[in-house]
A and B are shown apart, each in its own frame.
Chain A
Protein backbone atom coordinates (compact mmCIF):
# COMPACT_ATOMS: atom_id res chain seq x y z
CA UNK A 1 0.00 0.00 0.00
CA UNK A 2 2.92 2.31 0.85
CA UNK A 3 4.04 2.18 -2.79
CA UNK A 4 0.62 2.98 -4.30
CA UNK A 5 0.79 6.76 -4.05
CA UNK A 6 4.46 7.07 -5.09
CA UNK A 7 3.67 4.61 -7.89
CA UNK A 8 6.85 2.64 -7.10
CA UNK A 9 7.22 -0.71 -8.79
CA UNK A 10 7.68 -2.88 -5.70
CA UNK A 11 6.31 -6.39 -5.46
CA UNK A 12 5.56 -8.60 -2.49
CA UNK A 13 5.61 -12.39 -2.52
CA UNK A 14 4.07 -14.57 0.16
CA UNK A 15 4.03 -18.31 -0.09
CA UNK A 16 2.90 -21.25 2.01
CA UNK A 17 3.85 -24.86 1.41
CA UNK A 18 1.09 -27.10 2.75
CA UNK A 19 0.77 -30.89 3.18
CA UNK A 20 -2.51 -31.87 1.49
CA UNK A 21 -3.28 -34.82 3.79
CA UNK A 22 -2.35 -33.42 7.19
CA UNK A 23 -3.07 -29.80 6.16
CA UNK A 24 0.09 -28.84 8.08
CA UNK A 25 1.92 -25.70 6.96
CA UNK A 26 5.43 -26.98 6.21
CA UNK A 27 7.01 -23.73 5.09
CA UNK A 28 6.31 -20.00 4.88
CA UNK A 29 8.28 -17.68 2.63
CA UNK A 30 8.07 -13.98 2.01
CA UNK A 31 9.75 -11.26 -0.03
CA UNK A 32 8.69 -7.72 0.77
CA UNK A 33 8.84 -4.97 3.36
CA UNK A 34 9.15 -6.10 6.97
CA UNK A 35 9.44 -9.78 5.94
CA UNK A 36 11.66 -10.56 8.96
CA UNK A 37 9.20 -8.96 11.40
CA UNK A 38 6.28 -10.82 9.83
CA UNK A 39 7.87 -14.28 9.47
CA UNK A 40 9.01 -14.29 13.13
CA UNK A 41 5.36 -14.52 14.20
CA UNK A 42 4.44 -17.00 11.49
CA UNK A 43 7.43 -19.13 12.62
CA UNK A 44 5.77 -19.75 16.00
CA UNK A 45 2.75 -21.25 14.23
CA UNK A 46 4.93 -23.34 11.89
CA UNK A 47 7.06 -24.56 14.81
CA UNK A 48 3.85 -25.58 16.62
CA UNK A 49 2.75 -27.58 13.57
CA UNK A 50 -0.23 -25.37 12.70
CA UNK A 51 -2.54 -26.38 9.86
CA UNK A 52 -3.67 -24.23 6.96
CA UNK A 53 -7.19 -24.35 8.48
CA UNK A 54 -5.79 -22.83 11.68
CA UNK A 55 -4.05 -20.11 9.67
CA UNK A 56 -7.38 -19.43 7.91
CA UNK A 57 -9.28 -19.34 11.22
CA UNK A 58 -7.00 -16.50 12.36
CA UNK A 59 -8.36 -13.03 11.74
CA UNK A 60 -6.13 -10.73 9.73
CA UNK A 61 -4.91 -7.31 10.78
CA UNK A 62 -6.21 -4.86 8.21
CA UNK A 63 -4.81 -3.10 6.30
CA UNK A 64 -1.45 -4.88 6.37
CA UNK A 65 0.67 -7.12 4.20
CA UNK A 66 0.89 -9.73 6.93
CA UNK A 67 -2.84 -10.47 6.74
CA UNK A 68 -2.22 -12.23 3.42
CA UNK A 69 -0.82 -15.16 5.39
CA UNK A 70 -4.26 -15.82 6.88
CA UNK A 71 -6.38 -14.95 3.85
CA UNK A 72 -4.61 -16.60 0.92
CA UNK A 73 -6.43 -19.45 -0.78
Chain B
Protein backbone atom coordinates (compact mmCIF):
# COMPACT_ATOMS: atom_id res chain seq x y z
CA UNK B 1 0.00 0.00 0.00
CA UNK B 2 1.30 3.43 -0.81
CA UNK B 3 0.83 6.46 1.39
CA UNK B 4 0.72 10.19 0.68
CA UNK B 5 3.73 10.68 2.96
CA UNK B 6 6.61 8.62 4.33
CA UNK B 7 6.33 10.71 7.49
CA UNK B 8 3.68 13.09 8.69
CA UNK B 9 4.41 15.18 11.78
CA UNK B 10 1.68 16.66 13.97
CA UNK B 11 2.98 19.89 15.47
CA UNK B 12 5.69 22.24 14.17
CA UNK B 13 7.44 22.96 17.45
CA UNK B 14 11.04 22.22 18.37
CA UNK B 15 10.74 18.42 18.21
CA UNK B 16 8.42 18.24 15.19
CA UNK B 17 10.42 20.61 13.00
CA UNK B 18 13.73 18.92 13.89
CA UNK B 19 12.35 15.48 13.00
CA UNK B 20 10.61 16.68 9.81
CA UNK B 21 13.69 18.43 8.44
CA UNK B 22 16.10 15.64 9.31
CA UNK B 23 13.81 12.99 7.74
CA UNK B 24 13.35 15.12 4.61
CA UNK B 25 17.12 15.58 4.33
CA UNK B 26 17.40 11.78 4.20
CA UNK B 27 15.04 11.84 1.20
CA UNK B 28 11.72 11.03 2.91
CA UNK B 29 8.51 12.69 1.73
CA UNK B 30 7.44 14.65 4.78
CA UNK B 31 4.48 16.81 5.79
CA UNK B 32 3.79 18.72 8.98
CA UNK B 33 0.53 20.10 10.41
CA UNK B 34 0.53 23.16 12.66
CA UNK B 35 -2.61 25.08 13.61
CA UNK B 36 -0.71 27.85 15.40
CA UNK B 37 2.48 29.71 14.62
CA UNK B 38 5.56 27.79 13.52
CA UNK B 39 8.15 27.12 16.23
CA UNK B 40 5.88 25.90 19.01
CA UNK B 41 6.16 26.83 22.68
CA UNK B 42 9.89 27.66 22.64
CA UNK B 43 9.74 30.26 19.91
CA UNK B 44 6.28 31.72 20.46
CA UNK B 45 5.59 31.64 24.20
CA UNK B 46 8.58 30.12 25.94
CA UNK B 47 12.36 30.21 25.83
CA UNK B 48 12.80 32.88 23.18
CA UNK B 49 10.43 35.70 24.23
CA UNK B 50 11.19 34.84 27.88
CA UNK B 51 14.94 35.31 27.45
CA UNK B 52 14.45 38.56 25.53
CA UNK B 53 12.42 39.85 28.47
CA UNK B 54 15.16 38.65 30.84
CA UNK B 55 17.62 40.83 28.91
CA UNK B 56 15.20 43.76 29.12
CA UNK B 57 14.95 43.30 32.88
CA UNK B 58 18.73 43.51 33.41
CA UNK B 59 19.21 47.10 32.25
CA UNK B 60 18.37 48.89 35.53
CA UNK B 61 21.10 46.90 37.31
CA UNK B 62 23.58 47.74 34.52
CA UNK B 63 22.62 51.44 34.71
CA UNK B 64 23.24 51.38 38.44
CA UNK B 65 26.54 49.45 38.13
CA UNK B 66 27.78 51.92 35.51
CA UNK B 67 28.10 54.61 38.16
CA UNK B 68 30.64 52.48 40.00
CA UNK B 69 32.77 52.70 36.85
CA UNK B 70 32.54 56.46 36.57
CA UNK B 71 29.48 56.87 34.35
CA UNK B 72 27.00 59.54 35.32
CA UNK B 73 23.61 58.51 36.61
CA UNK B 74 21.37 57.00 33.92
CA UNK B 75 17.79 58.24 33.81
CA UNK B 76 15.74 55.82 31.77
CA UNK B 77 12.14 54.61 31.81
CA UNK B 78 10.76 51.40 30.37
CA UNK B 79 8.11 51.67 27.69
CA UNK B 80 6.35 48.32 28.21
CA UNK B 81 4.48 48.49 24.92
CA UNK B 82 7.69 49.10 22.95
CA UNK B 83 9.37 46.16 24.68
CA UNK B 84 6.43 43.81 23.99
CA UNK B 85 6.30 44.95 20.35
CA UNK B 86 10.04 44.38 19.91
CA UNK B 87 9.88 40.92 21.50
CA UNK B 88 6.91 39.88 19.38
CA UNK B 89 8.62 41.29 16.28
CA UNK B 90 11.54 38.95 16.87
CA UNK B 91 9.16 36.03 17.36
CA UNK B 92 7.50 36.84 14.00
CA UNK B 93 10.93 37.00 12.35
CA UNK B 94 11.74 33.54 13.74
CA UNK B 95 8.36 32.19 12.52
CA UNK B 96 9.47 33.26 9.03
CA UNK B 97 12.86 31.61 9.40
CA UNK B 98 11.23 28.32 10.42
CA UNK B 99 8.94 28.54 7.40
CA UNK B 100 11.92 29.09 5.08
CA UNK B 101 13.85 26.23 6.67
CA UNK B 102 10.94 23.82 6.24
CA UNK B 103 10.39 24.94 2.65
CA UNK B 104 14.11 24.58 1.89
CA UNK B 105 13.98 21.04 3.27
CA UNK B 106 10.91 20.42 1.04
CA UNK B 107 8.61 19.66 3.94
CA UNK B 108 4.90 20.31 3.14
CA UNK B 109 3.38 22.69 5.72
CA UNK B 110 -0.36 22.31 6.46
CA UNK B 111 -1.59 25.25 8.53
CA UNK B 112 -4.34 23.21 10.16
CA UNK B 113 -5.17 21.08 13.16
CA UNK B 114 -4.59 17.36 12.61
CA UNK B 115 -6.41 14.45 14.22
CA UNK B 116 -6.30 10.71 13.74
CA UNK B 117 -8.87 8.91 11.59
CA UNK B 118 -6.94 5.67 11.95
CA UNK B 119 -3.32 4.69 12.56
CA UNK B 120 -2.21 5.77 9.08
CA UNK B 121 -4.82 8.44 8.26
CA UNK B 122 -5.14 11.99 9.51
CA UNK B 123 -7.86 14.57 9.12
CA UNK B 124 -5.98 17.80 8.45
CA UNK B 125 -8.45 20.63 8.01
CA UNK B 126 -10.73 19.57 5.11
CA UNK B 127 -8.30 16.98 3.76
CA UNK B 128 -7.53 13.41 4.69
CA UNK B 129 -3.89 12.43 4.41
CA UNK B 130 -2.18 9.10 4.80
CA UNK B 131 1.33 8.43 6.04
CA UNK B 132 3.44 5.35 6.63
CA UNK B 133 4.79 6.79 9.88
CA UNK B 134 3.24 9.50 12.01
CA UNK B 135 5.10 11.51 14.63
CA UNK B 136 3.12 13.24 17.36
CA UNK B 137 4.90 16.38 18.54
CA UNK B 138 2.01 18.45 19.87
CA UNK B 139 3.78 19.79 22.94
CA UNK B 140 2.25 20.92 26.20
CA UNK B 141 0.09 23.67 27.62
CA UNK B 142 0.10 25.46 30.97
CA UNK B 143 -2.45 24.11 33.43
CA UNK B 144 -4.31 26.05 36.09
CA UNK B 145 -5.40 23.94 39.06
CA UNK B 146 -9.19 24.13 39.05
CA UNK B 147 -9.23 23.38 42.78
CA UNK B 148 -8.15 26.98 43.50
CA UNK B 149 -11.21 29.23 43.93
CA UNK B 150 -11.09 32.17 41.52
CA UNK B 151 -8.30 30.64 39.39
CA UNK B 152 -10.11 31.87 36.26
CA UNK B 153 -8.85 35.38 37.12
CA UNK B 154 -5.22 34.25 36.85
CA UNK B 155 -3.28 34.38 33.61
CA UNK B 156 -0.65 31.84 32.52
CA UNK B 157 2.78 32.12 30.97
CA UNK B 158 1.06 32.00 27.54
CA UNK B 159 -0.64 35.34 28.21
CA UNK B 160 2.24 37.28 29.70
CA UNK B 161 3.83 38.14 26.36
CA UNK B 162 0.71 39.99 25.29
CA UNK B 163 -0.10 42.08 28.35
CA UNK B 164 -0.98 45.60 27.26
CA UNK B 165 0.35 47.19 30.42
CA UNK B 166 3.03 46.38 32.94
CA UNK B 167 1.50 44.92 36.11
CA UNK B 168 2.44 47.11 39.06
CA UNK B 169 1.96 44.38 41.63
CA UNK B 170 2.56 40.97 40.21
CA UNK B 171 1.78 37.80 42.14
CA UNK B 172 3.19 34.47 40.99
CA UNK B 173 1.49 31.27 42.05
CA UNK B 174 4.03 28.46 41.96
CA UNK B 175 7.75 28.19 42.61
CA UNK B 176 8.77 26.24 39.51
CA UNK B 177 11.26 27.64 37.05
CA UNK B 178 8.66 29.42 34.91
CA UNK B 179 7.22 31.18 37.95
CA UNK B 180 10.53 32.34 39.39
CA UNK B 181 11.84 33.45 36.01
CA UNK B 182 8.82 35.70 35.48
CA UNK B 183 9.07 36.94 39.06
CA UNK B 184 12.64 38.09 38.35
CA UNK B 185 11.72 39.61 34.98
CA UNK B 186 8.90 41.70 36.44
CA UNK B 187 10.96 42.71 39.46
CA UNK B 188 13.82 43.80 37.20
CA UNK B 189 11.36 45.84 35.14
CA UNK B 190 10.23 47.59 38.32
CA UNK B 191 7.05 45.79 39.45
CA UNK B 192 6.34 44.78 43.04
CA UNK B 193 6.47 40.98 43.06
CA UNK B 194 5.22 38.28 45.44
CA UNK B 195 5.88 34.57 44.92
CA UNK B 196 3.52 32.09 46.59
CA UNK B 197 4.61 28.45 46.91
CA UNK B 198 3.30 25.40 48.69
CA UNK B 199 6.82 24.06 49.29
CA UNK B 200 9.26 25.52 51.83
CA UNK B 201 11.40 26.90 49.01
CA UNK B 202 11.29 27.57 45.29
CA UNK B 203 12.57 25.21 42.57
CA UNK B 204 11.77 21.80 43.99
CA UNK B 205 13.95 19.10 42.45
CA UNK B 206 17.03 21.29 42.02
CA UNK B 207 20.08 21.16 44.32
CA UNK B 208 19.30 22.49 47.82
CA UNK B 209 22.17 24.99 47.85
CA UNK B 210 21.13 26.31 44.46
CA UNK B 211 17.50 26.67 45.61
CA UNK B 212 18.50 28.59 48.75
CA UNK B 213 20.98 30.80 46.92
CA UNK B 214 18.43 31.84 44.27
CA UNK B 215 15.61 32.46 46.74
CA UNK B 216 17.87 34.57 48.99
CA UNK B 217 19.17 36.56 46.04
CA UNK B 218 15.61 37.18 44.83
CA UNK B 219 14.61 38.30 48.33
CA UNK B 220 17.52 40.76 48.37
CA UNK B 221 16.19 42.26 45.15
CA UNK B 222 12.89 42.93 46.90
CA UNK B 223 10.80 39.94 45.85
CA UNK B 224 8.47 38.82 48.62
CA UNK B 225 8.01 35.11 49.28
CA UNK B 226 5.12 33.29 50.89
CA UNK B 227 6.36 29.71 51.25
CA UNK B 228 4.62 26.76 52.95
CA UNK B 229 1.20 28.00 51.94
CA UNK B 230 -2.07 26.15 51.45
CA UNK B 231 -5.70 26.94 50.65
CA UNK B 232 -4.99 29.62 48.07
CA UNK B 233 -8.04 31.60 46.93
CA UNK B 234 -8.39 34.41 44.41
CA UNK B 235 -11.07 37.04 44.50
CA UNK B 236 -11.69 39.82 42.02
CA UNK B 237 -12.64 43.13 43.63
CA UNK B 238 -12.93 46.65 42.25
CA UNK B 239 -9.53 47.47 43.72
CA UNK B 240 -7.83 44.53 42.05
CA UNK B 241 -7.24 40.85 42.51
CA UNK B 242 -6.98 39.65 46.11
CA UNK B 243 -5.09 36.49 46.85
CA UNK B 244 -5.59 34.86 50.23
CA UNK B 245 -3.36 32.05 51.48
CA UNK B 246 -3.13 30.09 54.67
CA UNK B 247 0.24 29.35 56.25
CA UNK B 248 0.64 25.57 56.12
CA UNK B 249 2.73 25.45 59.29
CA UNK B 250 0.83 27.88 61.52
CA UNK B 251 -2.58 27.11 60.09
CA UNK B 252 -4.35 29.95 61.79
CA UNK B 253 -2.28 32.59 60.02
CA UNK B 254 -3.70 33.88 56.77
CA UNK B 255 -2.12 36.40 54.46
CA UNK B 256 -3.74 38.53 51.81
CA UNK B 257 -1.87 39.96 48.86
CA UNK B 258 -3.28 42.35 46.29
CA UNK B 259 -2.31 42.22 42.64
CA UNK B 260 -3.42 44.65 39.97
CA UNK B 261 -5.66 42.19 38.17
CA UNK B 262 -2.74 40.04 37.14
CA UNK B 263 -1.47 36.87 38.66
CA UNK B 264 0.44 34.15 36.94
CA UNK B 265 -0.51 30.56 37.56
CA UNK B 266 2.91 29.00 37.00
CA UNK B 267 1.60 25.80 38.39
CA UNK B 268 2.74 23.30 35.81
CA UNK B 269 2.22 22.14 32.27
CA UNK B 270 0.62 19.08 30.74
CA UNK B 271 0.57 17.38 27.31
CA UNK B 272 -1.78 18.95 24.79
CA UNK B 273 -3.75 15.88 23.66
CA UNK B 274 -7.17 17.47 23.20
CA UNK B 275 -8.98 16.68 19.90
CA UNK B 276 -6.09 14.58 18.66
CA UNK B 277 -8.28 11.52 18.05
CA UNK B 278 -5.91 9.17 19.84
CA UNK B 279 -8.86 6.86 20.56
CA UNK B 280 -8.88 6.01 16.83
CA UNK B 281 -5.48 4.37 17.35
CA UNK B 282 -3.84 2.03 19.84
CA UNK B 283 -1.61 4.82 21.18
CA UNK B 284 -1.54 4.52 24.98
CA UNK B 285 -1.77 7.49 27.31
CA UNK B 286 -0.26 7.24 30.78
CA UNK B 287 -0.83 9.93 33.40
CA UNK B 288 -1.94 12.34 30.71
CA UNK B 289 1.13 11.84 28.52
CA UNK B 290 1.73 9.70 25.43
CA UNK B 291 3.50 6.51 26.52
CA UNK B 292 6.60 5.76 24.45
CA UNK B 293 9.61 3.45 24.58
CA UNK B 294 13.29 4.43 24.37
CA UNK B 295 12.89 4.87 20.59
CA UNK B 296 9.88 7.19 21.09
CA UNK B 297 7.58 4.48 19.70
CA UNK B 298 3.98 4.38 20.98
CA UNK B 299 1.86 1.26 21.45
CA UNK B 300 0.77 1.69 17.80
CA UNK B 301 3.88 0.50 15.93
CA UNK B 302 3.86 3.12 13.13
CA UNK B 303 3.14 6.05 15.47
CA UNK B 304 5.86 7.81 17.43
CA UNK B 305 5.89 10.77 19.81
CA UNK B 306 8.56 13.23 20.95
CA UNK B 307 8.84 16.29 23.17
CA UNK B 308 6.58 17.67 25.89
CA UNK B 309 3.56 15.54 24.82
CA UNK B 310 5.48 12.53 26.17
CA UNK B 311 6.30 14.36 29.43
CA UNK B 312 9.80 12.90 29.74
CA UNK B 313 12.18 15.83 30.19
CA UNK B 314 10.41 18.91 28.91
CA UNK B 315 13.19 20.95 27.36
CA UNK B 316 13.56 22.23 23.80
CA UNK B 317 16.97 20.63 23.15
CA UNK B 318 15.63 17.29 24.45
CA UNK B 319 12.66 17.41 22.04
CA UNK B 320 15.03 18.30 19.19
CA UNK B 321 17.36 15.42 20.06
CA UNK B 322 14.43 12.98 20.37
CA UNK B 323 13.11 14.14 17.00
CA UNK B 324 16.49 13.77 15.30
CA UNK B 325 17.13 10.37 16.92
CA UNK B 326 13.76 9.25 15.52
CA UNK B 327 14.60 10.53 12.02
CA UNK B 328 18.13 9.07 12.09
CA UNK B 329 16.75 5.69 13.14
CA UNK B 330 13.92 5.41 10.61
CA UNK B 331 15.07 7.43 7.62
CA UNK B 332 18.85 7.70 7.98
CA UNK B 333 19.72 4.08 8.69
CA UNK B 334 21.45 5.17 11.93
CA UNK B 335 19.58 3.55 14.78
CA UNK B 336 20.03 5.52 17.98
CA UNK B 337 18.35 6.40 21.25
CA UNK B 338 18.33 9.75 22.96
CA UNK B 339 20.57 9.73 26.05
CA UNK B 340 18.85 11.18 29.11
CA UNK B 341 21.87 11.17 31.42
CA UNK B 342 23.47 14.44 32.44
CA UNK B 343 21.16 16.81 30.60
CA UNK B 344 22.23 20.35 31.47
CA UNK B 345 19.63 23.04 32.03
CA UNK B 346 19.46 26.65 33.12
CA UNK B 347 17.09 28.81 35.12
CA UNK B 348 17.04 32.35 33.79
CA UNK B 349 16.39 34.02 37.11
CA UNK B 350 18.44 37.01 38.24
CA UNK B 351 20.97 35.77 39.22
CA UNK B 352 21.02 33.08 36.57
CA UNK B 353 21.49 29.44 37.52
CA UNK B 354 22.52 26.34 35.62
CA UNK B 355 23.08 22.73 36.45
CA UNK B 356 24.20 19.39 35.05
CA UNK B 357 24.21 15.92 36.55
CA UNK B 358 23.11 14.83 39.99
CA UNK B 359 22.08 17.11 42.83
CA UNK B 360 23.76 16.37 46.15
CA UNK B 361 20.54 14.71 47.38
CA UNK B 362 20.23 12.53 44.25
CA UNK B 363 23.89 11.49 44.53
CA UNK B 364 23.34 10.58 48.22
CA UNK B 365 20.35 8.42 47.29
CA UNK B 366 22.30 6.72 44.55
CA UNK B 367 25.72 6.22 46.19
CA UNK B 368 25.29 6.92 49.93
CA UNK B 369 26.70 10.00 51.61
CA UNK B 370 29.90 8.18 52.70
CA UNK B 371 31.00 7.98 49.08
CA UNK B 372 30.44 11.59 48.22
CA UNK B 373 31.98 14.91 48.73
CA UNK B 374 30.53 18.17 47.68
CA UNK B 375 32.80 21.10 47.10
CA UNK B 376 31.31 24.55 46.91
CA UNK B 377 32.57 28.06 46.63
CA UNK B 378 30.23 30.85 47.50
CA UNK B 379 31.75 34.23 46.87
CA UNK B 380 30.60 37.78 46.49
CA UNK B 381 31.84 40.56 44.26
CA UNK B 382 35.37 39.39 43.49
CA UNK B 383 36.09 36.63 41.01
CA UNK B 384 39.49 35.77 42.41
CA UNK B 385 38.88 33.27 45.16
CA UNK B 386 37.47 34.53 48.40
CA UNK B 387 35.51 31.47 49.37
CA UNK B 388 32.96 31.89 52.11
CA UNK B 389 32.31 28.21 52.50
CA UNK B 390 34.10 25.08 51.45
CA UNK B 391 32.25 22.01 52.56
CA UNK B 392 33.25 18.39 52.66
CA UNK B 393 30.44 16.50 54.32
Contact = CB atoms under 8 A, between A and B. Distances in A.
Interface string A12-26: 111111111100011
Interface in A1-46: 1-21, 25-36, 38-40, 42-43, 46
B349 to A, nearest CB: 8
Q: Give chain A's interface residue range (CB within 8 Å of chain B).
A: 35 or more
Contacts, number: 176
A25 B357 contact: yes
Contacts of A65: 383
Contacts of A53: none
Interface string B375-389: 111111111110100
A11 B356 contact: no
B64 A8 contact: yes
B354 A27 contact: no
A17 B383 contact: no
A66 B101 CA distance: 35
Contacts of A4: 381-382
A49 to B, nearest CB: 9
Contacts of A26: 357-358, 363, 367, 372
B319 interface: no
B69 A17 contact: no
A8 B352 contact: no
Given A35-B351, A39-B354, A43-B344, A12 B372 contact: no
Q: What 3 pairs across the A-B complex have the smallest Cβ distances? A: A6-B68, A27-B357, A39-B354
Interface of B: 61, 64-69, 206-207, 209-210, 213-214, 217, 220, 341-342, 344, 346, 348, 351-360, 362-363, 367, 370-385, 387, 390
11 contacts: A1-B384, A3-B381, A9-B220, A11-B351, A14-B378, A16-B374, A27-B362, A29-B207, A31-B214, A68-B385, A72-B375
Given A29-B355, A31-B217, A43-B344, 20 more contacts: A4-B382, A8-B381, A11-B351, A12-B378, A15-B375, A15-B377, A16-B375, A17-B372, A17-B373, A26-B357, A27-B207, A27-B357, A29-B209, A38-B354, A40-B344, A40-B354, A46-B344, A63-B383, A63-B384, A68-B383
